[in-house]
Each structure stands twice: as C-alpha cells, then as structure tokens.
C-alpha cells in the first residue's frame, strides 16, 4: 500500500526569487521582448510547473535562472543554491559510457578523481540504472537516456562543503518526446528523486495534465511577452495519477484559462 503524501512546502523563504524580470533580444529596431516584468517566488522544496503557449518565454526564464543568459531588467536571487538545468534532449556524449557521462559532470563540479566513480554509481542507482553503467547512449531506450540526463544534472549539484545549501533543478520539457507510458513512469521517478533529495524544481511543460500531476503549483504565463497571469495551487495528495478525475478536473480549468490567454493575444 502506497502512503499518500501531501506536499506543503514552506513559503517563508524562497529558493528562487524573481523580481520584475524582463528579457529582450535584438537591437532597438529589431527588439523582441520575450519576458516582461516577471515576479515569482519558488519555496525551498517546492515543485513548480510553468505553462504557456509556445514562444511565451518559458525556456528563456529557465536559462536566466540557470545563469546561461542575463536579464535585461529586474533581479534573480537563488540564495547561493546549487542550480542544474535538464534540457529537452538528453544531449549525452555518444562515445562515452553512461558512467563516463556522469563522471564528466562530476569533474566539471570539481569532484576529485578518486571520488567520481563511486559518486557516479550512487547517482545511477538513484535513478535505477545501476546495471547500465558500461552501456553507451545508443544502447539505451529514450526513457533510460533521460534518466542518465537526470543523474548528470544531479551530478552538477554535488557539493559536500555545505550540507545546508539547497539544490534547484530546472527541467525544460524533459519528457515531451517520450511515449505516454514511459513518461508516466518517469513522472514517478522524478517525484521520488525530488522527494528523497529535497530538491526545489522549476519544470517547464506544454502538457497541462503533466503539470497538475507533478506540481505543487502551476504558474501560467501569457503569450509573448511572457508575464505571470495566474497561479493554480494543486491541493492534492501524492502520489497522483495523470488520468485521475481530480487531475483531469483541474487540468480542464487551467486549459480553459490557457485558451483564453492564447485567444486574447492571437498566438
């Protein structure tokens, strides 16, 4: 029997705080405003899903939080947390084994060489891939490759110098290319890893039911330029099923609001 868990993260502090964040691309004549005055707090240990139409700036927002790009205006504060970004594609090095892909991330993080192999083994075990350490990416299924990508993202957060330092995992539509059954299994997997490791997750998706299945809160962005237009708490016990009536009901409400927003902007 699976015990139901109600996620109730504290809102007294923020693992990630955005204040008036705007991002524009191009010069004055070709300026494209992707994000406009976005303010958002993500609590430590919270799982927040971002929804919006294509081109509304969801991926841009993750890149800004990850430090891969700079804001045009506003501020982003991660409180010194360790931040890792998991992309839409696994982007594994095909000539390296599964273990070597993870060890490379550990090397980039500054983990001493003698510690990399056991740490990689621990991370693979955490995503249930302990028996595939010597395989190369082409020998794995799509779901397995995404698990390796998750382990690598976690490797980039490894830091034993401060056990109190939080970890923020940014996920940019990581399951969008997978079949429904594999995606459902990986929903269980990421939820388990999130809970076991005390992660803070900011998750981008186009799938409304996926957002409700996974999130403590769903944040809806407007069409370009992206602005926070509404937030939907998800007051459901875990674990959840993506096909449950409760998930379907809230997903329908959010979908109606999303359609309204898309229709208003003609996108």
Average pLDDT over residues 119-141: 91
Per-residue confidence (pLDDT) for residue 262, from 0 to 100: 78
Residue pointed to by tokens 């982007």: 91
Complete DSSP assignment for 210-244: HHHHH-SEEEEEPSSSB-EEEEEE----BS--TTS
Residue 126 token pair = 């955490």
> Around Cβ 198, how many Cβ atoms within 10 Å?
10
Per-residue confidence (pLDDT) for residue 37, from 0 to 100: 95
Beta bridge partners of 76: 18
Q: How far apart are CA 48 and CA 52, in angstroms?
A: 13
- Asked whether the predicted pLDDT for residue 134 surpasses 50, the reply is yes
Band of residue 252 on the pLDDT scale cut at 50, 70, 90: very high
Band of residue 176 on the pLDDT scale cut at 50, 70, 90: confident
Q: How far apart are CA 84 and CA 18, in angstroms?
A: 17
Model confidence over 26-85: pLDDT tens digits?
A: 877 788 899 999 999 999 999 999 998 888 889 999 999 999 999 999 999 988 888 988
- Topology (CATH) of 13-81+166-267: Rossmann fold (3.40.50)
Average pLDDT over residues 94-110: 92
The structural domains of the chain, with segments of one domain joined by +, span 13-81+166-267, 92-163
Model confidence over 178-215: pLDDT tens digits?
A: 888 888 888 988 898 899 888 999 999 999 999 999 99
- Asked whether the predicted pLDDT for residue 5 surpasses 70, the reply is no
CA 60 to chain centroid: 13
Give the total residue count for the chain.
267
DSSP three-state, residue 172: strand
CA 87 to chain centroid: 9
Burial (CB count <10 Å: 0-12, 13-18, 19+), residue 213: buried
Per-residue confidence (pLDDT) for residue 75, from 0 to 100: 95
pTM of the predicted protein model: 0.86
Note whether 127 and 148 are within 8 A (CB): yes
The least confident of 95-104, 127-136, 158-167 is 158-167
């Amino acid at each position: 029997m699976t015990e139901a868990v109600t996620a109730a993260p504290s809102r007294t502090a923020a693992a990630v705080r955005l204040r008036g964040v705007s991002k524009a691309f191009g010069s004055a004549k070709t300026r494209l405003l992707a994000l406009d005055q976005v303010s958002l707090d993500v609590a430590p240990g919270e799982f927040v899903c971002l929804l919006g139409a294509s081109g509304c700036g969801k991926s841009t927002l993750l890149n800004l939080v990850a430090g891969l790009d700079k804001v045009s205006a506003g501020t982003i504060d991660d409180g010194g947390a360790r931040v890792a970004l998991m992309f839409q594609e696994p982007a594994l090095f095909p000539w390296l084994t599964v273990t070597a892909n993870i060890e490379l991330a550990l090397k980039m993080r500054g983990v001493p060489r003698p510690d990399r192999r056991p740490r990689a083994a621990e991370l693979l075990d955490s995503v249930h891939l302990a028996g595939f350490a010597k395989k190369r990416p082409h020998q794995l299924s799509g779901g397995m490759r995404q698990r390796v990508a998750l382990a690598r993202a976690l490797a980039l957060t490894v830091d034993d110098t401060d056990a109190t330092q939080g970890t923020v995992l940014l996920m940019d539509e990581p399951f969008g290319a997978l079949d429904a059954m594999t995606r459902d299994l990986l929903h269980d997997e990421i939820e388990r890893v999130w809970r076991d490791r005390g992660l803070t997750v900011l998750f981008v998706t186009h799938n409304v039911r996926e957002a409700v299945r996974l999130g403590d809160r769903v944040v809806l962005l407007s069409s370009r330029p992206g602005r926070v237009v509404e937030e939907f708490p998800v007051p459901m016990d875990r674990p959840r099923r993506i096909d449950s009536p409760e998930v379907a009901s809230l997903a329908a409400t959010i979908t109606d609001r999303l359609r309204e927003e898309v229709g208003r902007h003609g996108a």
